[in-house]
Structure 1
Amino acid sequence: MRTIMHSNRLHLLLPFALPSAADASTALHELRSPALDKLLARAALVERVAGEDFQRTLPHERWVARQFGAIAPNATDNAPLAPYMLLADGGTPGGDEWACVEPVHVRIAHDHLVLIDPSALALTDEEAAKLLSVAKPLIEELGVRVEAPTPHRWYLTGEALGKLAGASPLRASGRSIEIWLPHDAQSGQRSRIWMKLQNEVQMGWFEHPVNEAREAQGLPAVNSIWLHAQGTAQPVRSPFVRVLSDALATRGLALAASVETARAPSSFKALPPLGAGTTLVELNPFAAPFIAQDWAAWQAALDEVERDWFAPALEALDAGRLGALTLTLAGDTGSVTLAATRGDLRKFWRRRVLPSLLE
């Protein structure tokens, strides 16, 4: 592990920025990123974490949880982020064990069921609130407490739930849901309480006016719920002096660590002044095209990040206005972290290209 001692350090976390090697020929066909190319070529490799095909959490989730000490450094498939998400949503997790639940659409394929990226639902607050009003009493009847600081995300707690291993929605999106459904974390068996909860809600929403109206507009019905990130809040610490992110879990961890946090700015130039220490910025324009395997849209997102972040950050680093720049690029299963100082940019003999980092 390389330690960089400069002040005003910037760390960019980029989920879904690493396609798989199998997708490389398509994803990187028209890559136009000279600033990123130079940063990758000259930076020092800090960490490379290889993942596995059937891990139920995403590598950037595990990376953030490790940075804050919410999971052990050697944890391989665990990111109990629900209590921190609840905190970021304005709730109070306390010492209870929480799971996050989201309304979703499950599509019937030829011989299996496929989870659709929840963001593709375009569910309005009003629609979500009406569906929640039906689902909440059904869940509470089974002895499970529901907190819903926002109608789009609910938080469940109660001994009846047990300890469930759920999968992150974006980990399972676009795939058959069979192996990703919640199971008992100890026995590995399908959770009966969760199946009952899910069934009660599905029946309550069947032919609901919200869904009838959505289908009449050609929108997918909200026909199921998805559980993930179950866990209990632990004391955490932050290696960052400031955290700028739109991701709930990341902001929640920062809040739990009593660190300044806000939404991610639109560009490097919109960053607040960087003082001593490291500022973490999480940028996530890649998730939707990555999940949809829309590599033209993925490249367009990379073009924007190149223009708004990589190019001006490289210029600031080269001019000495930025002490150090670290990039953590995550994919579907693994992640890579590289760090560069002004001196690294002069190391012309270093040669590294993006395809060499692919999973």
Structure 2
Amino acid sequence: MRTIMHSNRLHLLLPFALPAAADASMALHDLHSPALDKLLARATLVERVAGEDFQRTLPHERWVARQFGAIAANAVDEAPLAPYMLLADGGTPGNEQWACVEPVHVRIAHDHLVLIDPSALDLSDEEAAQLLATAKPLIEELGVKVEAPTPRRWYLTGAALGKLAGASPLRASGRSIEIWLPHDAQSGQRSRIWMKLQNEVQMSWFEHPVNEAREARGLPAVNSIWLHAQGVAQPVRSPFVRVLSDAVATRGLALAAGVEAAGASASFQALGPLGAGQTLVELGPFAAPFIAQDWAAWQDALGSLERDWFAPALEALETGRLGALALTLAGDTGSVTLTATRGDLRKFWRRRVLASLFE
């Protein structure tokens, strides 16, 4: 049987597009997305990956890493993306093992500590640079090298760190941090070097002028650092001819694979002619409301994507201007990938609904 390869293919990656079924039943009962509904109803299911409750990486991170060959196809909980993030931020990862470190706020709850979504900090580059200037000498005293091509993302390397298993910030956000703190990947023990490094930085930022000014403005203090994504850059290859994403790891993988990489387009129409090959677009408006459990804002994000992406993409598919459209919807633990062609849209007997995909 001959396989038809469509020359202009679009793949949309949608992190945090799959809430848990319990959340959906309570808060997402009035969704209105006819274009997405039709695409999901008629599409062919390509892959469904069921995750686990205590995985430290996010399903869309693992999906991207697999697509580019940065991890094995059967990898369960790996996303060693720091070297590719460093590349996208303008650094040179080389053959060293890098970890990404971000300044964060940890909130004291009743009987535990809770990590706050880093994007909710509203941390300016100037503030981050001042905090880094205080922390960097303390880190380097421990024999750890620091690269900071961008003030809000730092990259650490050094034999003293060892090989650490850290959790993605958005995986741990909103939860007690105890089980998500970095540990030695071989022994499973809490990393002493990381605990010492973290404590040194926390003490240096206590009553720091940046934090005093932030608290005076009613903003949370930057009171800790978070390590994640440690790994060594591997040779990668891209199944996409163009990658558009605001996620630094995704752009970094594209750069490492030698393909065009840029920020996500504002809409389907802004993409312009797709040309030959497959274009990947990663769209991230679900992340912040998903982490905050703000389902009204989540629905607003869905409405914007329906208008700007799903409806025009469906029209392009129906008229033949788009050869194929793939959708990868990810949640907190799992992901689903579906593909729709013009022929699939005529399969009226297919009845899949969005709610059936929720975790």
Asked if the contact 1:6/1:324 (under 8 Å) is kept, the reply is: yes
SS for the counterpart of 1:9 is strand
2:39 corresponds to = 39
1:248-287 to structure 2, matched below 5 A, reads 248-287=248-287
**Aligned-residue offset at 1:5:** 1.4
Per-residue CA deviations over 1:236-256 (Å, capped at 9, x if unaligned) read 000000000000000000000
SS for the counterpart of 2:126 is helix
Asked if the contact 1:27/1:298 (under 8 Å) is kept, the reply is: no
Q: Distance in 2 between matches of 1:4 and 1:284?
A: 31
User: Aligned AA for 1:124?
Assistant: S
SS for the counterpart of 1:16 is strand
User: Aligned AA for 1:200?
Assistant: E
- Tell me, which stretches of 5 or more residues in structure 1 are unaligned? none
1:120 corresponds to = 120
Per-residue CA deviations over 1:22-48 (Å, capped at 9, x if unaligned) read 111134222000000000000000000
Asked if the contact 1:42/1:344 (under 8 Å) is kept, the reply is: yes
SS for the counterpart of 1:201 is helix
Per-residue CA deviations over 1:252-308 (Å, capped at 9, x if unaligned) read 000000001111110000003111110000000000000000000000000000000
2:185 corresponds to = 185
User: Aligned AA for 2:138?
Assistant: L
User: Aligned AA for 1:225?
Assistant: I
Q: Distance in 2 between matches of 1:4 and 1:208?
A: 61
Against the structure 1 CA distance between its residues 74 and 4, is the aligned structure 2 distance closer, same or farther, given a 3 Å change threshold?
farther
1:322 corresponds to = 322
Q: Distance in 2 between matches of 1:70 and 1:38?
A: 33
Q: Distance in 1 between matches of 2:197 and 2:94?
A: 24
Q: Distance in 2 between matches of 1:343 and 1:330?
A: 25
1:11 corresponds to = 11
Q: Distance in 1 between matches of 2:310 and 2:151?
A: 36
1:80 corresponds to = 80
Runs of 4+, deviation exceeding 2 Å: none
Asked if the contact 1:27/1:299 (under 8 Å) is kept, the reply is: no
User: Paired residues, what number?
Assistant: 357
Q: Distance in 2 between matches of 1:252 and 1:27?
A: 35
Structure 1 residue 225 corresponds to structure 2 residue 228: no
SS for the counterpart of 2:70 is coil
Q: Distance in 1 between matches of 2:19 and 2:233?
A: 32
Q: Distance in 2 between matches of 1:87 and 1:303?
A: 34
1:147-166 to structure 2, matched below 5 A, reads 147-166=147-166
SS for the counterpart of 2:16 is coil
SS for the counterpart of 2:18 is coil
Q: Distance in 2 between matches of 1:273 and 1:249?
A: 25
1:132 corresponds to = 132
2:300 corresponds to = 300
2:216 corresponds to = 216
**Aligned-residue offset at 1:4:** 6.1
Against the structure 1 CA distance between its residues 240 and 212, is the aligned structure 2 distance closer, same or farther, given a 3 Å change threshold?
same
SS for the counterpart of 2:119 is helix
1:71 corresponds to = 71
Asked if the contact 1:4/1:324 (under 8 Å) is kept, the reply is: no
Asked if the contact 1:317/1:324 (under 8 Å) is kept, the reply is: yes
**What TM-score do the two structures reach when normalised by structure 2?**
0.99
Q: Distance in 2 between matches of 1:189 and 1:30?
A: 46
**What TM-score do the two structures reach when normalised by structure 1?**
0.99
Q: Distance in 2 between matches of 1:317 and 1:88?
A: 32
**Aligned-residue offset at 1:110:** 0.0
What is the root-mean-square deviation in Å for CA atoms of aligned residues?
Answer: 0.7
User: Aligned AA for 2:283?
Assistant: L
1:145 corresponds to = 145
User: Aligned AA for 1:282?
Assistant: E
User: Aligned AA for 2:356?
Assistant: S
- Tell me, which stretches of 5 or more residues in structure 2 are unaligned? none
Q: Distance in 1 between matches of 2:137 and 2:198?
A: 13
Per-residue CA deviations over 1:334-359 (Å, capped at 9, x if unaligned) read 00000000000000001100111111
SS for the counterpart of 1:318 is helix
1:176 corresponds to = 176
2:26 corresponds to = 26
2:343 corresponds to = 343
